[in-house]
Every structure is written in C-alpha cells, then in structure tokens.
Amino acid sequence: MDRQMEFVLRTLEERDIRFVRLWFTDVLGFLKSVAIAPAELEGAFEEGIGFDGSSIEGFARVSESDCVARPDPSTFQILPWRANNGHFHTARMFCDITMPDGSPSWADSRHVLRRQLAKASDLGFSCYVHPEIEFFLLEPGPYDGSVPVPSDNGGYFDQAVHDSAPNFRRNAIEALEKMGISVEFSHHEGAPGQQEIDLRYADALSMADNVMTFRHLVKEVALSEGVRASFMPKPFTEYSGSGMHTHMSLFEGETNAFHSDDDPLQLSSVGRSFIAGILEHAVEISAVTNQWVNSYKRLVHGGEAPTAACWGAANRSALVRVPMYTPNKSASRRIEVRSPDSACNPYLTYAVLLAAGLRGVEQGYELAPEAEDNVWDLTPEERRAMGYRELPSSLGHALAEMERSELVAEALGEHVFDFFLRNKRSEWENYRSNVTPYELKQYLSL
C-alpha cells in the first residue's frame, strides 16, 4: 500500500468519515456514484468494487458486463456538507474503471484522456487547462418543458443581488475551495440568472475531475438556496447560451511551449501549429465538444458563440483566440477555445482538443492569418472568401463529420467512438421526429 492510500485511511479514522463515495463518469459525462463504508476502503484499494457495466451508458455489453471501479487515492477529498452535528462525515474519490483482469476499460472517460496525455508526454509536453464555466440559476420547476424562470434580472458583471439566492456564488466558491478546487474569478454573465465561475489552471486530468465535481457542487449549493442550477447549453431563445471556454497551454518541464519572444504575439511555432490543428479538425470534433441537440441552438449566427473555424488575438468572435491580458508574462501565453459548452464530457472534450492540437504540432500545420474583424458580422460569402470553415449547425451535421474522422476515432478509441455515435444518432432521430410548439404555432393552420 502506497503512502497516498495510507494517508486516506488515516484521514478517514481521524476525521470520523462515515461514508466514502466512489465517483466515475459515463461516456455521456454523467456522474456515477457508489457509497461504501470506511471499513471497506482498504479492500477497495486492493481489489476494486465490482459493478454491472452493462447498466452504465456505453460501458459494456451484457455478455461481458463485469467491470471494476478502482478508487484513485490522489483524488480523495472530504465533501463540504455538514451533518446535523456540524461535522463533515462524507468523502469522495474518483475511480479508474478496469476489466476483471486489471486491464483498463476502453469505455472509461478518464482512460481516454490519460491515453492522450501519455501521447503528449511522449512528445515532451504536459497539458494545462483552465475553464470558464457558465450556467444558469433558475427558479424551481416546472419540469414539464415550460420556459424556465431566471433567478434574477442581472446582466454582465452586475453586482446582482439574486432575488432567490443572494449568497449563491460565495457559498459555491467556499464549497469548491474546501475540496481543493481553486477559483480565479466569478461574476454574473450577460443573461438574467446566468453565472460564470472560472477555475484556476491545472493539469488536464485533474481539471476534468474538477469540472465533474464543480457541476455536482454547484447543483447542491443551488438546491440548498431554493433554486436550481442548469448547465443546459441554451435554455432561453432570447439569451446567449452557456459555454465552457477552455484555456489550454503545453509545457516542456517548466517552460511554456506556447511562448516565444520573437513573435509579435509572443506565440511560438508550437502554439501556432497547435491552433492550426484545432482549426483544421474543429468540424469533426464538434460532436464531442458540443454533444447535445440543444448545443447547436447556442452555436448560431448572431449569438456570442463561435460559428466559424478561425482564430484571432483577443478576438472573442473567433473559435480560438489568444488572450492578451499579460503580453509580457511567458507563463501566461495560452490559447482559448470557445466552442465547448458546459454540458460536455470534460474528459472526452479535453482528449479531442489535445488530439487535434498535437496533430497540428506533429505534422507542422501552418496557421492561417488571424481574423481581425468581427466574424459574427460577416456574411457566409465573406467567410468563405476568407477561408473560414463553418462549424456544424446541427448535431446531425456534427455526427456525419465525426463518423468520417480518423483523428476522433483514434482519440476516443473504438469502443467509445462507436457507442457515442450510436447514442447520439438516436438522440438526433428522436429530436427530428418530435413535433415542437414552434411547428404547431407556425403550421397548424395550413
């Protein structure tokens, strides 16, 4: 037993932890959990916890359903919920999913990202990310498909007093900090009820764990304050949707591989090729970064989300931008990818973004000239003339592009790639066959 496991077992006893929740993520990005008593944890470290993989989205067929959840002691944290006696009695750990023989499960989202990080490591890079996570606070119910009601009427950077949850952001940030998740900024976003919380950078695997924890904690804090939190990409027709703008950088040891003093933007050839890789493969990875039918209601012309594969310095209308807040600080040179939304599977999203960027680095992709205009204002003809490829306008379009992608198939692995396509095709067909209130209103009198 290694020192980390010993630390966890000692902490359970010293802090009087009564329950340990073992977490993992299915292929679609939903959090799964099994609770065990502290007395069972040492055995879980040695042998794992068996479960029926055929009952989890995308994990295993009935004929080979036995899977094992193996807790990762480096992810141990005490959950910030007090019991009636005022103490914290529940902890959590993320798990790696394996087959009974100990081999990694190809359906495990953490394993998918780990494989891509191992490829980056073979090239001499480590990958760091920090996300800007947007979401809505809504009044409770109804749950019948009616238009939701925002919890406040604030706008961008307003010091909005939430009508229903005045202490929400403070309480959410305190809960995140108690679990070792550092927050850089928080503020009200542009739409009524819309919030943004930015997490401090971390390695990509830790950050994917943090995003899953973030979504759980935010929903729990919201419930405790009498509201509900939604990470739905676009719950309102008239307001912009919720993105998860993701800042990325590669490091070689302590050196930022994206920085160069010789470039006007202080962007190295590695950084330029990485951006070029994301732009080249942006269309085929869209089904992963934006995996829901509703995701494409956010990615529309006239909104604040990217609709074309282009890049720019400090240009928020581009798919990829180079933030220029600290132009002389080498460690801060990074890129911001603006397409992912807050409802994606963060493990798979980081895996395909990294795969696309590394493909650009490995093959020396040339970066096209930057977009200096407001891309949202350009006509489709103007975009084509400038060489900007349109991003998919629907999940169906995105799936067709993904199905042809060798890069995505390699990044996700055959099992996840095939299941993801099957599941999302079903979602798209269900959506296409559903008659909406809009159609009834427009066409019933024909």
As annotated, the binding site for ATP includes 184, 247-249, 316
Please report, as a single letter, which amino acid is at residue 313: A
Residue list, annotated binding site for Mg(2+): 132, 134, 189, 196, 245, 336
Residue list, annotated binding site for L-glutamate: 298, 304, 316, 338
**Other residues' Cβ atoms within 10 Å of the Cβ of residue 184:** 11
Q: How far is CA 313 from CA 12, 116, 267, in A?
A: 49, 27, 10
**Other residues' Cβ atoms within 10 Å of the Cβ of residue 429:** 11
Asked whether 79 and 91 are in contact (CB, 8 A), the reply is yes
Look at the block and give the residue holding tokens 């650009």.
360
Q: How far is CA 294 from CA 117, 245, 358, 430, in A?
A: 30, 17, 29, 13
Q: At what angle do helices 168-178 and 204-224 cross, to 10 degrees?
A: 140
Asked whether 318 and 312 are in contact (CB, 8 A), the reply is yes
Q: For the chain, how many residues are written?
A: 446
Copy the structure tokens of residue 300.
Answer: 């529309």
Asked whether 324 and 342 are in contact (CB, 8 A), the reply is no
Residue list, annotated binding site: 132, 134, 184, 189, 196, 245, 247-249, 298, 304, 316, 336, 338
CA dist., res. 344 & res. 289, Å (int) = 6
